[in-house]
Structure 1
Amino acid sequence: MFIVDKYIGSIKTNLEKQSDLLVSNLKKTFEYNFSSDIDLLDYCAFIEPTRFELSIVMFSMDKEVNEVFYEGNDKTVFAGSEEILSNIEYHLLNDSQLEKFFEFYEQNEDTLVSQEQRVFTEWFSQCWEIAGGASMKLPSYFIFHDDSKSFDLKSNQWIDDQEKWS
């Protein structure tokens, strides 16, 4: 039988195992020479719920909601996107348990989605701070792919996406 608290605890445990890798990868990006055309950074979480995998990609964006690319000759200038984490497992489950798990998930979806997002956001935010995120000059946000809200990593608050583009 599946229990909400046990499932969320499993996510926390599995994310913690990836904290050092995330911190290390974030530290590298903080040292980049970002293009002056970049207005903000979006760290976008892509979740594959059927495989319990999480990937995070950093996108450099302008205020027009466009990804910024650099086409100059200076190889030290960064613009574009970069994968920060690739397909890490956030929950382990035997294949024989999948059907029962997804029944449990469907019955508890509203609770589980909000708690999953809270756990992913708190974990990323904590790693961002440990990596030295306060030194980042660009506004930086943690987002979930295809969601309409963003977590402002500097103020530690959720905002509507429209706020960051204005």
Structure 2
Amino acid sequence: MFSVDQYIRSIQSHLKLQSDVLVGNIKKILELQFSTDIDLLDFCVLIEPTRFELSITMFSMDKSANEVFTERNDTAFAGSVEVLPEIEYYQLNNHQLDDFFYFYEQNEATINPLEEKAFTDWFHQCWKNAGGNALKLPAYLIFHDHYRSFDLKNNQWIEDEIKWS
């Protein structure tokens, strides 16, 4: 009933439907005047797998891995911005849930890296389409509670410690 390839293709199709929204929101972020206290931007993907939803929030960070916030008198931006509200990345009928989760559990080792790649490839393409590489600050895509980051400008995964050094 389910296949890994079909599942990943479906995710890619659902994400593609949200590309224009994501590109537009990234463009708005690129127009911000960032505080000089910011050393890098983290675009954090939060996935709700039981609901097949994801959201993305941008956090402005310093080199000590702390979020930077705007001082009251500062007109430059610092803080966090919702880049993409919760979107559905896969659809199933309720009567298929048990079968799907059984399939997922049996194929999790294969599916997880393919899901991550689908999400990363999609975000990175939207980043490039929005002109993200023109941003002066380093920028990374991260998955909530993961130990590595995708360097959006250099198109590669790095260990988190590297970006804080």
Q: Deviations over 1:75-127 (max 9, x none)?
A: x3110101101110000100110010000000000111100000000000000
Is 1:2 paired with 2:5?
Answer: no
Q: Specify the alignment match of 2:56 in structure 1.
A: 56
SS in structure 1 at match of 2:92: coil
Q: How high is the TM-score relative to the length of structure 1?
A: 0.98
Distance, in Å, in 1 between the alignment partners of 2:7 and 2:133 is: 32
Q: What is the number of equivalent residue pairs in this alignment?
A: 165
Q: Distance in 2 between matches of 1:131 and 1:15?
A: 16
* Match in the other structure for 2:34: 34
| Aligned mates of 2:138, 2:28 — CA distance in 1 | 17
Q: How does 1:72-83 map to 2 (within 5 A)?
A: 72-74=72-74, 76-83=75-82
Look up the equivalent residue of 2:101 and give its one-letter code: F
Distance 2:51 2:148 in 1: 24
Task: After TM superposition, list the pairs within 5 Å mapping 1:102-113 onto structure 2.
Answer: 102-113=101-112
After superposition, the CA RMSD in angstroms is 0.6
Question: Partner letter of residue 94 of structure 2?
Answer: D
- The equivalent of 2:46 in structure 1 is 46
Q: Which runs of 5+ in 1 are unaligned?
A: none
Q: List alignment gaps of at least 5 residues for structure 2.
A: none
> Is 1:150 paired with 2:149?
yes
How do 1:11-22 and structure 2 match up within 5 A? 11-22=11-22
Matched residue of 2:27: which SS? Answer: helix
How far did 1:71 drift? 1.2
* 1:19, distance to aligned residue in structure 2 (A): 0.1
Give the TM-score taking structure 2 as reference length.
0.99
Which letter maps to 1:66? Answer: N
Distance in 2, matches of 1:57 and 1:112, equals 24
Superposed displacement of residue 134, structure 1: 1.2
Q: CA deviation at 1:153?
A: 0.3
CA drift at 1:72 = 3.2
2:87 counterpart SS class: strand
1:108-161 deviation per Cα after TM superposition (whole angstroms, max 9, x unaligned): 001111000000000000000000011100000000000000000000000000
